[in-house]
Amino acid sequence: MEFATISRGSGRIALILTPSTLRRLTPGLRPEVGPGRDFGWIDIGQGAARIVEALREMGPAGIIMEFREELTEQVSSLGFPVVVVLADMLLEGMGCVNVDDEAIGEMAADYLRRKGLRSLAYCGIESEHAPGRKSGFLDALERGRGGAVHEVVAGEGGRSRRVRLERWLEALPRPAGIFAAHDPLAREILEACDRLGLAVPAEVALLSASNDPFTCELIYPGISSVEIPWGRVGLEAGRLIGKMLAGEEPGEPAIIRPVGIHTRGSTDFYRVSDERIQEAVAYMRRNLGSGMGVAPVVRHLGMDRRALERLFRAQINRSPGEVLADMRTERARELLEQSDLRIGEIAEACGFGTSEKLAAAFKRRHGLTPRSWRKRTGA
């Protein structure tokens, strides 16, 4: 990559990031752009020697970079102010911004356990993030007395890894809920399930973390994923580099918590083979805004209410009322993130009736009020 030689006083910040991280952080960094301040990108994958050469040519005012132990050490020795993102430790003299990996694991465990699954599993690769996500997941299961079968799929890719993954999947008691520590690994698992003929989500429910749209949405079924507020990571990194350029100490690392689960088909337990449940769920979706309870669903199907309750419990380990409440809350989350509707309008559209009822249900599910969720996710 070519860079023009720029004087150190220009205010340019060098971004040493992977393309995916650059894409994620850009919305949060955008407010930092102004007179005398802009950004230049260096792909972190091109090797330490070329990166150091590019930095010397650029002469940036400061640097924001992903953590790579040896590279970070070399870059810091050049004497520029440095903020490191996705670092799990305090780095002397540098600003640090990281996501709370243990909280990601805890959120994943709680979500899968709420699905009524008893066979829960963790799958990770050896990286700087996996240990925290694994410990958070397993600790949450232990506190909630939920059983787990877990295995770390480590090492290089290729046939040996695929075979090991397939053998692990075949041995899992089913139906199983799997938390994959990263979105790309979740795609590997989904593809392995397809090769083995394992139905997702009926036999294997799959959840990952980071919520990358390309990885999670351009595949069938879409992969549910823990949402990390990447814009907030970029915002904190920009704030820290500005602080350091003003001559201040960076202080303690900024730790960013996940904001929720983006649910897609890989954990949509309501897509089952039983046509009566399919019709019940479809009827609920069509009438979410009506504020109806379970009684109209029973009448629509022409079934006894107790029979419908037993059917739902047997097939998806959830009651019709629980399914309806989950659908309303998830629809509210989508509207909070994807529309400019007022909170009261969202409550009406999802069948809650009042903003107070929506707020109570939403906080039980996500730990935040709808207003706080919208503000935190930058919607």
The answer to whether residue 263 is domain-embedded is no
Q: Is the pLDDT of residue 379 over 70?
A: no
Q: Quick one: what percent of the chain has pLDDT higher than 70?
A: 89
The answer to whether residue 137 is domain-embedded is yes
Q: What is the structure's pLDDT at 191?
A: 95
| Whole-model pTM over 0.85 | no
pLDDT in tens, 276-288: 888 898 888 889 8
The verdict on 166 and 92 lying in the same domain is: no
The verdict on 140 and 128 lying in the same domain is: yes
Counting the structural domains of the chain, the total is 3
Highest mean pLDDT among 117-126, 188-197, 282-291: 188-197
The answer to whether residue 2 is domain-embedded is no
Taking residues 250-259, report their average pLDDT.
Answer: 89
The verdict on 290 and 363 lying in the same domain is: yes
The verdict on 135 and 94 lying in the same domain is: no
Q: What is the structure's pLDDT at 186?
A: 95
Among 96-105, 146-155, 240-249, the minimum mean pLDDT is found in 146-155
Highest mean pLDDT among 125-134, 146-155, 176-185: 176-185
The answer to whether residue 210 is domain-embedded is yes
Q: What is the structure's pLDDT at 2?
A: 34
Q: Which residues contact 224 (CB under 8 A, 6 or more apart)?
A: 206, 207, 208, 216, 261, 262, 263, 264, 265, 266, 267, 268
Q: Is the pLDDT of residue 154 over 70?
A: no
Among 135-139, 238-242, 363-367, the minimum mean pLDDT is found in 363-367
The verdict on 150 and 129 lying in the same domain is: yes
The verdict on 92 and 241 lying in the same domain is: yes
Task: Provide the mean pLDDT of the chain.
Answer: 86
Give the structural domain span for 323: 275-376
The verdict on 222 and 307 lying in the same domain is: no
The answer to whether residue 3 is domain-embedded is no
Between 378 and 159, the more confident residue is: 159
The verdict on 205 and 251 lying in the same domain is: no
The verdict on 79 and 151 lying in the same domain is: no
Q: What is the structure's pLDDT at 256?
A: 92
Among 6-15, 236-245, 313-322, the minimum mean pLDDT is found in 6-15
The verdict on 89 and 173 lying in the same domain is: no
Q: Is the pLDDT of residue 153 over 80?
A: no
Q: Is the pLDDT of residue 374 over 80?
A: yes
The answer to whether residue 357 is domain-embedded is yes
The Cα–Cα gap between 205 and 186 comes to 11
The answer to whether residue 354 is domain-embedded is yes
The verdict on 239 and 91 lying in the same domain is: yes
The answer to whether residue 268 is domain-embedded is no
Between 116 and 98, the more confident residue is: 98
Per-residue pLDDT band at 51 (split at 50, 70, 90): very high
Contact 151, 92 (CB under 8 A): no
CATH number for the domain spanning 32: value is: 3.40.50.2300
The verdict on 76 and 136 lying in the same domain is: no
CATH number for the domain spanning 304: value is: 1.10.10.60
